[in-house]
Structure formats: C-alpha cells, structure tokens
Amino acid sequence: MKTVLLLTLSFFMAAGALAHTPQEKGLAIAEEADKRGEGYQDSQVKLRMVLIDNNGDESPRQMRVKTLEGAAEEGDKSLMIFDTPRDQKGVAMLTYTHKAKPDDQWLYLPALKRVKKISSRNKSGPFVGSEFAFEDISSQEVEKYDYKYLRDETVDGKKMFVVERDPKDKYSGYTRQVAWIDQEEYRVWKIDFYDRKNDLLKTLENKDFKQYLDQYWRPSLSVMQNHQTGKATRLEYEAYEFKVGLDERAFTKNSLKRAR
C-alpha cells in the first residue's frame, strides 16, 4: 500500500511539474500506465471468444494466447492459437508490435497450409469475424498515439482520467479513441472507438480485473460492442500465467505452423 501511495504521489508531483498542457498530461498518464505493466517478461492465458450477432445468437471459439514482452525499441510479440471450432483448429496469428513503424502480422491457415502476411492497409478489418479489428489485438504501445487529457470523471465510485488518443498510423480505422483510466491503478476500463467519419463505432469494456504477481492487473472479461451493427464479441480470460519461460523461438513464422 505504501508503495502504491508513493508511486501515485511521485506521479502527481512529476505531472504537476512537467504536464502543462492537455497533450502533456495525456501523454504522462499513458506513460505511467505503461510503466506499471513493465517487467512481466512473458505470459500465457486461455481465452474463450464469443461472437454475438444482432439477434443475440452466440458462436464460441477456444484459443490460447502467448505473449513475450518487448525490449528497447521493439514492442511485445504475441501468438494466438485456435483450438475450436473444429474447422478453425490450428489457425494461428503472430503479431510483432513496433513502436515507430506499423506492426507486422501473419495468419496461418492450416486448410491452405499457408502463412499469410496481413497488409498494413487491412489492419482495420475484422479479426476472424469478430468485432475486434486486427489493430485492436496488437499491443497498445504508447508511441503509437498522440494524447490529450480531457477531464476527470467518477464512474462507479472510481476516480477516472478521461484521455483521448489519436492513432498515428494513417491506415488505422479510427480517427480517435477515448479511454477511461482509473487514477489509483491506471487500469483501462473503457474505450470508445470513433470511425474515419468520426462517428462512434465501438465501445470496449474491461471488467473483473485481477492482480497477478502482486503487480500486473488483467481483466477477466472484455466486451466489444459495435454500435453500428448491433453485434458484439466477448473475451473470457482464464488461468493467466506469467514468467513461464517463453523465448523468441516461440514467436517466429515457422512457429505458426507448429502451433497446435
């Protein structure tokens, strides 16, 4: 508790000294949130993805997600592997997140025995029929956005920063995103996504946060609601593990074909 209080006090002292404009304060909040997630090394988690159509009918998928923390100028690397449904078993997605250039993403389709590179121009497209775009499932590195602090809000008794972040990637499907970040632990509870016409497109809500290794907060449930189609996608996380010994060899294009 003492550590949290000291960290929070230090942050506000730094913010008060350095963050003079809404842009500087927005960036300072994003950097503090990122700093609190550093040092996890690697992780893996079981994931249930549920596609929900505009009639409320559900279509579940089971998958596993492995992540390797980035170092220096490189962002995180992640590997998503589908276990069900049967016709998607073995489908795998590899993502290299970069801080200063567009991410690299590859999709392996076992039916075609082929690794497909996802073009930067197609990152706004839907990921396997879900309401998540390819760009949504990349690591959200601080350097990928311009920031602006908007206001403070209290939501469900929690004091929140409300921060706008504008993607720097010209091929992003969004003009801007508005995020609600709690002022105690810097967890992202909600993001509104605005499309290229600046209309509200989707809302992501993260719920049921749990803390791991006395430091790292992760949601147990994430729901992406598409306001324009009425569809939604629910992500249910189970059995998070950290520092399990993953290394670069698990995150290569060849590893996609072996990922079963």
Q: Are 65 and 79 in contact (CB under 8 A)?
A: yes
pLDDT reported for residue 120: 79
Average pLDDT value for residue range 198-209? 98
Closest CA to 258 of 94, 57, 16, 147: 94
Tokens of 110: 């076992």
Any idea which residue has 């100028």 for tokens? 73
Tokens of 15: 């913010």
Q: Which residue has the higher pLDDT, 192 or 258?
A: 192
Q: Does residue 11 register a pLDDT over 70?
A: no
Whole-number CA gyration radius for the chain? 18
Domains in the chain, start-ordered, CATH in brackets?
A: 22-258 (2.50.20.10)
Per-residue model confidence as pLDDT tens digits over 29-73: 999 999 999 999 999 999 999 999 999 999 999 999 999 998 877
Per-residue model confidence as pLDDT tens digits over 82-102: 999 998 899 999 999 988 888
Report the amino acid identity of residue 146.
Answer: D
17 φ/ψ angles, rounded to the nearest 5 degrees: -80, -30
- Identify the bridge partners of residue 48 per DSSP, sorted by sequence position: 62, 236
pTM of the model: 0.88
Strand extents, DSSP E, the chain = 42-52, 58-68, 74-84, 92-98, 104-109, 114-117, 145-155, 158-167, 176-182, 188-194, 200-212, 216-226, 232-242
Average pLDDT value for residue range 128-150? 92
CA dihedral 40, 41, 42, 48 (to 10 degrees): 20
Q: Are 190 and 203 in contact (CB under 8 A)?
A: yes
